Structure 1
Amino acid sequence: MKAGIGISKWWFYLALLPMILGICAWQGWAWWSWASAPPVMPDTSPQGGDKTVQIRIPAGTSAQQIGRDLEAAGLIRSTDAWRLWSYWLMWRNQPGGFKAGTYKLSPTQPLSAIASKIWTGDVMQLSFTIPEGWSLQQMATYFESLGFFKAQDFLAAASQIPKDKYPWLPADLPFLEGFLYPDTYQLASDRISPQQVINLMLDNFEQKALPIYQKGQNSTTLNLVQWVTLASIVEKEAVKPEERPRIAGVFTKRLRQGMKLGSDPTVEYGLGFRQTADQPLTFAQVKTASPYNTYLNPGLPPTPIASPGLASLRATLYPENTDFLFFVARYDGSHVFSRTLQAHEAATRAIRQQQSQKRKAS
């Protein structure tokens, strides 16, 4: 009888075991479903999917520390679940590994999606825009305002001429003014450095601007640096797109006739000053000696004064064949063009008189 009771207990425990294992498995799965789920469930509002957190993972950070940082940032629910998923990725021999960088992550993403992003190095892309006509100094100030790097670090890097990588760069170039192509760029956040930004912009110049010169260089007497220099002056002078070829034509004609260019933007560049309608260049400033003062010095300034866009580069390579030798700005972006000095001076007086009347009226 006792033997029968023992056998019955054995069968009872044997029958109970699958039930216990099932309960454990269910509890484990329930825990994993909770632990790997997004900490914040996406709501139905349009802003629900816009919740993001930027997190920086320094080089050499362990998987366990990454998990702790993610949990502290509210991006995952459990470091234990993170550790298990890390083991799973390694056990499966997934190519890659957790990579350093700055990531844009959302608490509405599941743990697996966040892990995949960091494992494959899908770092955040940073965007920046350089307008046409900006100088190196303006770029440096802009990059510092974005928090990319210090302005002085950028200017120092722009004084290093990487002719080994870009052999087309002119010889004896003191800095890269004019050759950093104005455009909108995207760069991985882990690659933000002055040199990486400069390389990106030089690559763009090589792809977009250089072929224009190579195709049309037989139609001009300007070498590469002279072309970019004159185009940078056209860029700073022109506001109306339709006037660019004419302005380029005036400067080209003055150069051919041995006349001084007499361009205000070159004086401004040399002085580090930007004139406005209310604060125009003074006579004393125009007479201030500088290698960039094209009222005092014949020919082109020693370097470009800004980064010209394609329109100014093309206009300089294919200038309008014009009889005009002078022009003066109307302060609305347009210019009055003149063939003689007498007509130019009359136009200048008329514009100044109009400006004076506007000030009095206001």
Structure 2
Amino acid sequence: MKKLLATLVALGVLLVAGIGGWFALGWYAGSQVEEETSFIVPSGATLTSVARGLEEEGHIGSADRFLLRAKILGSSDPIKAGEFLLPKGASSAKILDTFQHGDVIRRFVTVPEGTPSVIVHDLLMAEELLVGEIPVPEEGSVLPNTYDYERGEERIAVLARMQRAMDETLAELWPNRSDRTVVNSPQEAVILASIVEKETGVPEERRMVAGLYSNRIRQGIMLQADPTIIYPITRGRPLGRRIRQSEIQAINDYNTYSMVGMPRGPITNPGRASIEAVLNPEQTDAIFMVADGSGGHEFNATIEGHNAAVERWFALRRERGEM
């Protein structure tokens, strides 16, 4: 009897150990994730509903067994909402840990410097993993930058972050403005910066262009910035042709060929560097500029110097067969 009892006890211990091993193996080693895949934990989801989803998608064999093992062997930390990447071969323990402590997959949308609001609208509407409709944002309200977002996020929420970034940038830069600036408010800074943004693609020129336009405003000289002619026609989209003489002479709230001072509003969304430029413009006596053929400009303080620079530019264009 003693031998029989000892045998039964040994068998019981082996049975318990086997069950325990099977139970642990199913948590730490078992995996049905055949390839790297993403899984979305909806906002407000419970671990039970997530387990059902994992079972439906074939990532675990049983939601009930997953929940039992999670209760006994897993962490009690809450799961996070978002889209997560489950690696190939992920165990149930790894899956739960990913939902509790892993990084949510972030995607990105980039608004280049000088992107007008109609194009910002197009960019956000083209992001298929975002949801909801948005209006065309107010011109100059968006700070060009790269922004991250989650699958299923509202477009209006992403746009709000872009606009909040502009507000925060202006609040940061405005108190540090130079006494050389001619703008009297953050809004005026955005307006002038939008012209600087459209007038030069050379980062090193921004402060010089800002200095030139600051001089013109001080002296009551028309800014005569070509992009201000185009904006009321296309609202920032490419014109696709040469500017007509009638458009140069058009009288409206934006055309700086027919008005002194700045337009009524921005003509694009300027980047941080252009805003900094108009708040701290170059100290210069230049009031004229013309393209120099290399992507930048030649700056002059006199009409004689400017006319000579124009002749050099025309000669270069004729040499290139552009005239």
Same structural fold, with TM-score higher than 0.5 when normalized by the shorter chain:
yes
Cα distance 1:53–1:292, how it changes in 2: closer, same or farther (>3 A)? farther
Q: Does the CA-based 8 Å contact 1:36-1:76 persist in structure 2?
A: no
Deviations 1:302-351 (A, max 9, x none): 22222323332222122223332221224532112233456545544553
Question: Distance between the aligned counterparts of 2:223 and 2:322, measured in 1?
Answer: 33
Cα distance 1:242–1:312, how it changes in 2: closer, same or farther (>3 A)? same
RMSD, aligned CA = 3.5
User: 1:236 aligned to 2:198?
Assistant: yes
What amino acid sits opposite 2:25 in the alignment?
Answer: S
| Aligned positions of 1:135-154 closer than 5 A | 135-149=116-130, 153=134
What amino acid sits opposite 1:242 in the alignment?
Answer: E
Which of residues 150, 174, 184 in structure 2 aligns to 1:213? 174
* Number of residue equivalences: 320
Displacement of 1:268 after TM fit?
2.7
Aligned residue for 1:166? Answer: none
Larger CA deviation: 32-41 vs 333-342: 32-41
TM-score by length of 2: 0.81
SS in 2 for 1:88: helix
Deviations 1:31-74 (A, max 9, x none): 541454363799xxxxxxxx632222334545344224324545
Deviations 1:284-306 (A, max 9, x none): 44344542222223211122222
SS in 2 for 1:153: coil
Q: Does the CA-based 8 Å contact 2:228-2:263 persist in structure 1?
A: yes
TM-score by length of 1: 0.73
User: 1:304 aligned to 2:266?
Assistant: yes
Aligned residue for 2:162? Answer: 201
User: 1:22 aligned to 2:6?
Assistant: no
SS in 1 for 2:223: coil
Displacement of 1:225 after TM fit?
0.8
Displacement of 1:118 after TM fit?
2.1
Q: Does the CA-based 8 Å contact 2:193-2:270 persist in structure 1?
A: yes
Aligned residue for 1:82? Answer: 66
What amino acid sits opposite 1:248 in the alignment?
Answer: A
| Aligned positions of 1:146-165 closer than 5 A | 146-149=127-130, 153=134, 155=136, 158=137
Question: Distance between the aligned counterparts of 2:54 and 2:298, measured in 1?
Answer: 63
Amino-acid identity (%) = 27
Gaps of 5+ in 2: none
Aligned residue for 2:37? Answer: 53
Aligned residue for 1:323? Answer: 285
Gaps of 5+ in 1: 1-7, 43-50, 159-174
Larger CA deviation: 279-288 vs 264-273: 279-288
Q: Does the CA-based 8 Å contact 2:132-2:156 persist in structure 1?
A: no
Displacement of 1:252 after TM fit?
0.9
SS in 1 for 2:29: coil
Displacement of 1:121 after TM fit?
7.9
Aligned residue for 2:47? Answer: 63
Displacement of 1:282 after TM fit?
3.5
Displacement of 1:230 after TM fit?
0.6
